[in-house]
């Protein structure tokens, strides 16, 4: 490398000598006329030869030595400046970096670039790339659910339960950036431990597996595990959050539904309803070994709480009635009467003009059984109802249940998952929920609030201590001091209030409720048929 300090000394001496020479030879004395006269005397073989230094043209024999000296000095300075500049190391290369004789150099972005083979071996460093637009983002702010988004090309490998976001600038080795169990009950550790976990990672293209199946619609990945199989949880933890998520995230197009912990019977039971959310074939990830590729993916379902759709949080202000309309679209075309789902009494079949009451039956050792059900049915018939005892397990399909309840004027039953069938009632129909001791909060959260949001005539029949099997006497502490004030209390007392309590309705008391229900059902039948 040139020693600039030493070179400056020589350059200063050259300048002083050139200045003294210029003082002796007056460059201005060479007038144009003298130049032309001098040029005419030049022999033919010595015609002026033009030199190009920068943009200045000079005639070799007609310019003074001073002029030539000045231009030579300037040219030398320019040349040395260029050499010095190209040999100064870049800021991006530290003093400890390898010499330029090495064949390759790694840029700041990690990219390896072949160096020029010239003498100087100047490193060619690419500028760092712009921040990639593909990112994995997760919303974990809710107490109920987590939702993650992969906003770029996504490769789903079911053999390792991993979704890769393809990013050409992703570092290697691949690092798992997020993990998620896509089921909206994240406050229940025991339940969530049964949900398959999906890993989310960002990876460069050359590190990702090859696609076996290419989809042109984005994926919505969720779990059908947990409590699914219980009708309430199928709706509360699955179908309602699916409605909310598709209407919130996929507002203008259908996603591909990719389901974890999915049983074949579950897909069959809800096939008509699931196809209201997408026109694409459903991917059961538990049975897949092929690599599926999507333009993007959303993992997890959004929940607004127990059996509800909050219109304030929906882009198009959908509510629970919007979901009820979706049920109608899915099942009304089947034209099923639901006769297989219930037991018609002989008097009911001969009186089709009477308001229809469907009484939900609970049998076996399940808790919350109505011990005097036959007496209640007889009383309802006496008041004027056409009564059908409804056993959901006898329905051949959910469409059968819809066919029965969509033409029903009133529904009655003890609190339990089967009351989810109230979703099939038309707005304006009557819904009577029998609430055992200790579950007031649960009954309101699961069905009371939803019934009002759907426009049903909601009637709550609360069990007294004398009607509950919990008592060993009217002053029994357990029956008079229910503990269900919040979710934690609910799960601590499940065995006492839900599984070990049956009810025997006071016929004098229930007659007043059924009379009120009859008048409302009769009015509804007059309006809606």
pLDDT digits (tens, 9 = 90+) for 274-331: 999 999 999 999 999 999 999 999 999 999 999 999 999 999 999 999 999 999 999 9
pLDDT of the residue at 508: 97
pLDDT of the residue at 236: 98
Q: Are strands 154-157 and 410-414 parallel, antiparallel or unpaired?
A: unpaired
In the predicted structure, residue 512 carries a pLDDT above the cut 50: yes
User: How confident is the model over 400-412, as pLDDT tens digits?
Assistant: 999 999 999 999 9
Mean pLDDT of 162-178: 87
Per-residue confidence band for 59, with pLDDT thresholds at 50, 70 and 90? very low
Query: CB–CB of 245/259 below 8 Å?
Result: no
Per-residue confidence band for 61, with pLDDT thresholds at 50, 70 and 90? very low
In the chain, ranges of CATH 3.40.50.360 domains: 336-528
Least confident of 40-54, 69-83, 261-275: 40-54
In the predicted structure, residue 86 carries a pLDDT above the cut 50: no
User: Which range is most confident: 168-182, 245-259, 495-509?
Assistant: 245-259
Per-residue confidence band for 426, with pLDDT thresholds at 50, 70 and 90? very high
pLDDT of the residue at 3: 64
In the predicted structure, residue 418 carries a pLDDT above the cut 90: yes
Query: CB–CB of 215/286 below 8 Å?
Result: no
pLDDT of the residue at 173: 77
In the predicted structure, residue 494 carries a pLDDT above the cut 60: yes
Mean pLDDT of the chain: 80
More confident: 252 or 12: 252
Per-residue confidence band for 175, with pLDDT thresholds at 50, 70 and 90? confident
pLDDT of the residue at 32: 44
Per-residue confidence band for 69, with pLDDT thresholds at 50, 70 and 90? low
User: How confident is the model over 209-241, as pLDDT tens digits?
Assistant: 899 999 999 999 999 999 988 999 999 999 999
pLDDT of the residue at 449: 98
pLDDT of the residue at 206: 83
In the predicted structure, residue 5 carries a pLDDT above the cut 70: no
Give every CB contact of residue 229 below 8 A, 6+ residues apart in sequence: 263, 266
Distance (Å, whole) CA 54 – CA 129: 37
For residue 488, give both structure tokens.
Answer: 């934690």
Query: CB–CB of 405/399 below 8 Å?
Result: no
Q: Does domain 336-528 have CATH number 3.40.50.360?
A: yes
User: How confident is the model over 23-48, as pLDDT tens digits?
Assistant: 665 544 444 444 444 444 444 444 44
Task: Tell which residue, 152, 154, 225, has the closest CA to residue 188.
Answer: 225
For residue 518, give both structure tokens.
Answer: 């009859």
In the predicted structure, residue 467 carries a pLDDT above the cut 70: yes
Rg (CA), the chain: 43
In the predicted structure, residue 58 carries a pLDDT above the cut 50: no
In the predicted structure, residue 347 carries a pLDDT above the cut 60: no
Least confident of 21-30, 114-123, 230-239, 516-525: 114-123
Look at the alpha carbons of 453, 459, 464, 468 in this order and tell me if their dihedral is positive or negative: negative
């Amino acid at each position: 490398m040139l020693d600039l300090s030493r070179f400056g000394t020589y350059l200063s001496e050259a300048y002083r000598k050139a200045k003294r020479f210029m003082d002796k030879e007056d460059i201005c004395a060479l007038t144009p006329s003298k130049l032309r006269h001098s040029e005419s005397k030049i022999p033919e073989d010595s015609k002026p030869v033009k030199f190009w230094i920068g943009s200045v043209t000079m005639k070799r024999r007609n310019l003074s030595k001073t002029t030539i000296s000045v231009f030579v000095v300037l040219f030398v300075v320019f040349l040395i400046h260029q050499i010095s500049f190209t040999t100064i190391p870049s800021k991006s290369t530290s003093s400890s970096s390898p010499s330029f004789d090495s064949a390759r150099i790694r840029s700041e972005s990690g990219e390896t670039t072949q160096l020029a083979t010239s003498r100087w071996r100047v490193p060619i460093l690419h500028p760092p790339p712009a921040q990639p637009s593909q990112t994995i983002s997760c919303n974990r702010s809710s107490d109920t659910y987590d939702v993650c988004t992969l906003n770029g090309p996504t490769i789903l490998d079911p053999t390792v339960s991993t979704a890769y976001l393809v990013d050409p600038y992703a570092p290697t080795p691949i690092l798992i950036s997020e993990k998620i169990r896509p089921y909206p009950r994240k406050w229940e550790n025991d339940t969530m431990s049964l949900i398959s976990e999906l890993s989310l990672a960002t990876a460069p293209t050359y590190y990702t597996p090859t696609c076996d199946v290419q989809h042109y619609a984005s994926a919505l990945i969720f779990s059908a595990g947990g409590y699914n199989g219980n009708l309430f949880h199928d709706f509360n933890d699955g179908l309602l959050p699916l409605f909310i998520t598709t209407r919130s995230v996929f507002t203008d197009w259908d996603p591909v539904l990719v389901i974890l912990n999915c049983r074949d019977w579950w897909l069959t039971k809800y096939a008509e309803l699931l196809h209201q959310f997408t026109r694409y074939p459903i991917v059961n990830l538990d049975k897949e070994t092929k690599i599926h590729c999507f333009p993007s993916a959303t993992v997890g379902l959004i929940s607004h709480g127990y059996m509800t759709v909050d219109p304030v949080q929906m882009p198009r202000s959908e509510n629970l009635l919007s979901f009820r309309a979706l049920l109608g679209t899915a099942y009304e075309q089947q034209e099923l009467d639901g006769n297989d789902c219930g037991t018609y009494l002989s008097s009911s079949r001969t009186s089709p003009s009477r308001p229809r009451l469907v009484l939900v039956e609970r049998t076996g050792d399940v808790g919350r059984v109505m011990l005097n059900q036959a007496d209640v049915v007889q009383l309802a018939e006496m008041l004027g109802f056409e009564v059908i005892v409804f056993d959901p397990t006898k329905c051949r399909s959910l469409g059968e249940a819809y066919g029965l309840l969509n033409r029903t004027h009133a529904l009655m039953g003890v609190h339990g998952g089967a009351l989810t069938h109230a979703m099939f009632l038309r707005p304006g129909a009557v819904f009577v929920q029998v609430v055992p001791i200790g579950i007031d909060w649960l009954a309101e959260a699961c069905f009371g609030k939803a019934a009002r949001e759907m426009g049903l005539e909601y009637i709550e029949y609360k069990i007294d201590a004398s009607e509950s099997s919990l008592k060993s006497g009217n002053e029994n502490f357990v029956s008079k001091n229910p503990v269900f004030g919040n979710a934690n209390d609910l799960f601590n007392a499940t065995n006492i209030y839900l599984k070990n309590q049956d009810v025997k309705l006071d016929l004098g008391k229930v007659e007043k409720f059924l009379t009120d229900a009859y008048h409302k059902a009769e009015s509804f039948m007059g309006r809606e048929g």
